[in-house]
Amino acid sequence: MEKLVYFDNNATTRIAPEVREAMEPFFDSLYGNPSSMHAFGGQIAKHLDRAREEVAAFLNCEVDEVIFTGCATESDNAAIRGAADWYGKDLKIITTAVEHPAVLQPCRRLKALGHEEIELPVDTAGQIDLEQLREYLKNANGPKLVTIMYANNETGVVFPMDKIAEICKEYGAVLHTDAVQVAGKIPVDVKKIPVDMLSMSGHKFHAPKGIGLMYVRRGTRLKPFMLGGHQESSRRAGTENVPYIVGLAKACELARLGMAEEAVKLTALRDRLERGLLAACPNVRVNGDTANRLPNTLNLSFEYIEGEAIAYHLSDLGICISTGSACASGSLDPSHVIRAMGVPFTAVHGSVRFSLSRYNTEEEVDYVLEKLPPVIKRLRELSPFGPDKDITTFQ
């Protein structure tokens, strides 16, 4: 591909060169098993310890509260199903309508198995009503698991995790958060915001795909998801993926040191893109709470046209964006997140997400600002729907 403007960083990111370099020796000379008795294994175990210390510094937690997993989907499942396994049928599960399928699917499965499960709705800005959460927890007897994402992958809307944690504490609920999209974008401090469990994924912040982590506060009641060996304090059996863990730790270090500066850059780029597109295209709406949004994410609805058509046309121009979540692609159903926000029917199908990273530039933003408006104009001309057309049959 000649030109590549990659604005799909909430789907996955490029591996940082520093991360690749840190991993390299573990594919070559440092191949031992950290659980082995011999000194070579012990040497690898030391690297594993150092990686765990770096992740603990990133989250401000203790080293024994960090568990390495295969991906965030595993971390989410391990937290939700592990809590249900411990507490049994009495466990009540509270989540939101806009979670990633890695949370929604296990919650719905537990509901099918007889657990009480509720999905809090969101308002037009994509925010939940904290009073509704409080009311539910106040009236629910027995053990309760609240699983609410830190930030939404499609809109970038950040939930008020400090207030959510406060309410959960008040009513003795266990709190898990899918923090996949905040990793490397906004600081996460589990001492300041006392969640009990948290999930993250390496490939969303410049480490490779296939490595995830879980934070589990000391004392949290949880049955292990993977059974077998005693790795990861018997919380997650299986030989650790040392090269990828080292890469993940490096990504945490880069994020810890560079996040503040990066957020300023990302906000400026994202806002330039947003301003430019709103000025150049009529009938566009920004989806999500713009006052509480990840610095890198922009979700727009171009009314009267299909988001998929926009993404295909941009793809031909070397520009990568997405509609809905990547896991749901292949389906033309509008995104469950955008639908849950009550976006009007003229706009719900036309939603697209731009998500930036540290590697994007102003030139790339300007390239999109040059190429996208004519695409929108052409698609609108072809569309049978529009403010001056008969839109009554639009589904």
Q: Rule CB under 6 A: which residues touch ligand PLP?
A: 71-73, 100, 102, 149, 153, 178, 180-181, 201, 212, 325
- Cα end-to-end span (Å), the chain: 36
CA angle 119, 125, 128 (to 5 degrees): 30
CB 64 to ligand PLP: min, Å: 23
Cβ atoms of 287 and 341 closer than 8 Å: yes
Cβ atoms of 197 and 215 closer than 8 Å: yes
Task: Enter the tokens of residue 338.
Answer: 């955008």
Closer of 47 and 100 to ligand PLP (Cβ): 100
Catalytic position from the list 71, 168, 320, 327: 327
Q: Which helix (H) or strand (E) holds 116?
A: strand 116-120
d(CA 375, CA 307): 12
Kindly tell me the burial class for residue 363, based on how many C-beta atoms sit within 10 Å of its own C-beta (0-12, 13-18, 19 or more): exposed
Closer of 181 and 335 to ligand PLP (Cβ): 181
Helices and strands (H, E) in the chain, number of each type: 11, 12
Q: Tell me which amino acid residue 364 is.
A: E
CB 210 to ligand PLP: min, Å: 8
Ranges of H-type helices in 140-241: 161-170
CB 100 to ligand PLP: min, Å: 4
Task: Find where tokens 């591909």 sit.
Answer: 1
Q: Tell me which amino acid residue 351 is.
A: S
Closer of 9 and 231 to ligand PLP (Cβ): 9
Closer of 180 and 343 to ligand PLP (Cβ): 180
Closer of 161 and 372 to ligand PLP (Cβ): 161
252 is catalytic: no
Task: Enter the tokens of residue 8.
Answer: 């799909």
Q: Tell me which amino acid residue 204 is.
A: K
d(CA 100, CA 106): 11
Closer of 8 and 303 to ligand PLP (Cβ): 8
Do the strands 319-320 and 5-6 form a parallel or antiparallel pair, or are they unpaired? parallel
Q: Would you please indicate which residues are annotated as catalytic (active-site) residues?
A: 327
